[in-house]
Amino acid sequence: MAVSDPLLVGIDLGAGSLKISIIRSDGSLVSEASAPVATSSPHPGWSEQNPDDWWLAACDALRRGLKASGRPASDIAAISFSAGAHTQVLEDADGQVIRPAILWNDQRSREETQQLRDKADARILEIGANRANPTWTLPQMQWLRTHEPEAFARVRRLYIAKDWLRAQFTGTWETDTIDALGTLMLDAQKGEWSKELCDMIGWPMATLPPIVKPSAIVGKVTAKAAQATGLAEGTPVVCGTSDTAAETFGAGMVREGMGVVKLATAATVNVLSRKAQPDFSLINYYHVVPDHWYVIAATNSCASAHKWLRDTFFRRDGEDGSAVFDAMDTRASAVRPGAEGLFFHPYLNGERSPYWDPLLRADFVGAGFNHGGGHFVRALYEGVAYSLRDCLEVMKSKGLGFSTARLTGGGARSALWRQIVADVLNITVELPAVADASYGAALLAGVGIGVFKDERAAAGVVQIVSRAVPDPARTAVYDQGFPIYRDIQKALAPINHRIHGFVAGQNK
């Protein structure tokens, strides 16, 4: 019997936690829950997770989210998934996970990336619509072949993160078009796995999954998964897609010229486009909206840098983390725009757009006795915003851009940070009522089972709760500061490389 008020579930696997959102068909949030996921870094620049932890987190979050909804599991009409692109899970012939998953922000494949660029830089861009860099699966698997050849030889199935997690619910094996493109093993024009790209690293194509639309129904919740999660057996499962695609969709970016700025673990500038924009400085993905692309320029560290600053300099043992963030915000609000000459570059884990340099390092430059804790917080907010402006400038040079953008990610909770982004980028920023990938995944579940007519209809339920308009006086300050920010980056880049060599020498 059909449910009069069907619920939709979105499950998003983030870098530090897994989150579920349960929503109604009008887009309103019923309940949400999250569970932590640990990341290990056994060597500098490495970032790995145990996939079994994802499943445990999903079971925990689902049970608590369902309980908080006050509704029976039978009211769930469908579920769908999202997670970071590029992150892969490798299984052997017995279906056993071979090694920890290498995350999208892992930087170990620097040498392999350079080898691929030296070998076929332009050709990889031509086929895959993107340039090789340590974020992508192709160079990561080249690293595996070089450094863990036994593991490489055992691989029989490659999953992308959200697909492996979803397989625990359905027992099926597939990926969507967007995550397939994120491996850098796909022919972007044909929408098929590329033998030429796979052959560059000797990757067996038989290990790559079938490709479906993000909104495709790929199975149903099994009895085993139902018992573990509290979901009803037989609940339809929709494939899902990458976290950024889900976020931009959930924020309502479904028409050309719309922008989304994401303030999450990493920060991104996204714009919807009718076609790809292959360029060494940009990232191109198919979008959830059929026959469209979204183009990205990205900075590696954002909310992760914010958390690092809090935990390193502001938080005492036992203090509530959210309260500390609020206190940091209050102190930063008392500081004038420009942080009295204190600049921050958020390169805590190398950098992507527009420099694509994994050896860049973060810095605070210009400190004096006049600077207190609030200055450092504001400088961090401004530094991330300047880095986003660096990204946006690349897009503008290609004829892309926007005057209004939706804001997503945990950093969007800060009204001060939202305003700084508006002032530095000189755009109006809009905050959706719910702004995360799990919400977008829930909407996608609705598209998959026909609750919404199509993707644009689903985006029509997105509600905007606040706007930040750029202030001309503050924008003028940042227009003066941005060239200084860039000049500092240029001056310190060769020194960053020397520091990397120095540290590498000490670690031998």
221 vs 227: CA distance, rounded Å: 10
Q: How many domains does the chain have?
A: 2
CA-CA distance, 372 to 17, in Å (whole number)?
32
Length reported for the chain: 508
Per-residue pLDDT of the chain (508 residues), as tens digits, is 467 789 999 999 988 899 999 999 999 999 999 999 999 999 888 999 999 999 999 999 999 999 999 999 999 999 999 999 999 999 999 999 999 999 988 989 999 999 999 999 999 999 999 999 898 999 999 999 999 999 999 999 999 999 999 999 999 999 999 999 999 999 999 999 999 999 999 999 999 999 999 999 999 999 999 999 999 999 999 999 999 899 999 999 988 778 999 998 889 999 988 889 898 888 999 999 999 999 999 898 999 999 999 999 999 999 999 999 999 999 999 999 999 999 999 999 899 889 989 899 999 999 999 999 999 999 999 999 999 999 999 999 988 889 899 999 889 999 999 999 999 999 999 999 987 899 999 999 999 999 999 999 998 999 999 999 999 999 999 999 999 999 999 999 999 999 999 998 887 6
d(CA 165, CA 53): 10
Q: Which pLDDT belongs to residue 401?
A: 87
State the pLDDT at residue 506.
80
Residue at a domain's end among 186, 207, 239 = 239
> How far is the C-alpha of 254 from the C-alpha of 114, rounded, in Å?
35
Q: Is residue 119 domain-shared with residue 180, that is, in the same domain? A: yes
d(CA 324, CA 489): 30
Cα(102)–Cα(299) distance, integer angstroms: 19
Beta carbons of 210 and 46 less than 8 angstroms apart: no
CA–CA separation, 27 and 8 (whole Å): 9
**Could you tell me the CA-to-CA distances from 151 to 95, 145, 300 in Å, in that order?**
14, 8, 28
Q: Is residue 400 part of a domain?
A: yes
**Residue 344 three-state SS:** strand
Q: Are 179 and 253 contained in the same domain? A: no
Of the candidates 214, 239, 264, which is a domain's last residue?
239
Domain presence at residue 414: yes
Domain identity same for 257 and 228: no
Give residue 508's pLDDT: 65
Q: For residue 268, what are the β-bridge partners?
A: 262, 298
Distance CA 254, CA 143 (A): 37
Pairing mode, strands 404-408 and 428-432: parallel
Identify whether the C-beta of residue 438 lies closer than 8 Å to the C-beta of residue 4: no
What is the rounded end-to-end Cα distance, in angstroms, of the chain? 66
User: 432 by DSSP, 3-state: which?
Assistant: strand
CB 184 within 8 A of CB 138: yes
Q: Which pLDDT belongs to residue 2?
A: 65
- Which two tokens mark 206? 């038989």
Answer for the pair 86, 183: CB distance below 8 angstroms, yes or no. yes
* Residue carrying structure tokens 């990610």: 409
Residues 217, 207: Cα–Cα separation, whole Å: 22
CA distances from 286 to 135, 179, 421, 447, 448 (A): 17, 9, 26, 17, 17
- Whole-number Å distance between alpha carbons of 18 and 60: 10
CA pair distance 365, 331, nearest whole angstrom:
19
Q: What is the domain-level CATH number for residue 287?
A: 3.30.420.40
Whether 165 and 283 share a structural domain: no
Given the residues 163, 176, 243, 279, select the one marked as catalytic.
Answer: 243
Residues 186, 288 within the same domain: no
DSSP 215-236: T-EEEE--HHHHHHH-PPTT-E
Measured N-to-C along each axis, helices 137-147 and 110-128 cross at an angle, to the nearest 10 degrees, of 140
Residue 471 falls in the annotated catalytic set: no
Q: Is residue 360 part of a domain?
A: yes
Contact 180, 211 (CB under 8 A): yes
Token pair, residue 98, equals 């071979």
Quickly count: other Cβ atoms within 10 Å of residue 157's Cβ.
19
- 378 and 436: one domain? yes
Position 45 scores a pLDDT of 85
Query: 428 and 451: one domain?
Result: yes
Does residue 185 sit in the same domain as residue 259? Answer: no
Together in a domain, 366 and 218: no
Q: How far apart are CA 202 and CA 196, in angstroms?
A: 10
Q: Per the structure block, which two tokens stand in for 484?
A: 């200084």
For 408-427, give the secondary structure using H, E and C. ECHHHHCHHHHHHHHHHHCC
Say if residue 256 is in the same domain as residue 144: no
Do 63 and 156 fall within a single domain?
yes
68 lies in some domain: yes
DSSP string, 107-132: -TTHHHHHHHHHHHHHHHHHHHSS--
3-class SS letters over 271-312:
EEECCCCCCCCCEEEECCCCCCEEEEEEECCCHHHHHHHHHH
The encoded tokens of residue 90 equal 């490798």
Which of 450, 462, 437 minimizes the C-alpha distance to 78? 450
Residue at 440 is within a domain: yes
* pLDDT value, residue 257: 72
Contact (CB, 8 A) for 80 and 440: no
DSSP 402: -
pLDDT at position 434: 87
Which amino acid, 308? Answer: W
pLDDT for the residue numbered 312: 96
Whether 156 and 297 map to the same domain: the answer is no
Asked if 235 and 78 touch (Cβ cutoff 8 Å), the reply is yes
Q: Which of 207, 239, 271 is the last residue of a domain?
A: 239
Position 460 in a domain: yes
Residue 262 is assigned to a structural domain of this protein? yes
The domain containing residue 74 runs over which residues?
Answer: 7-239
Q: Looking at the domain assignment, is residue 1 inside a domain?
A: no
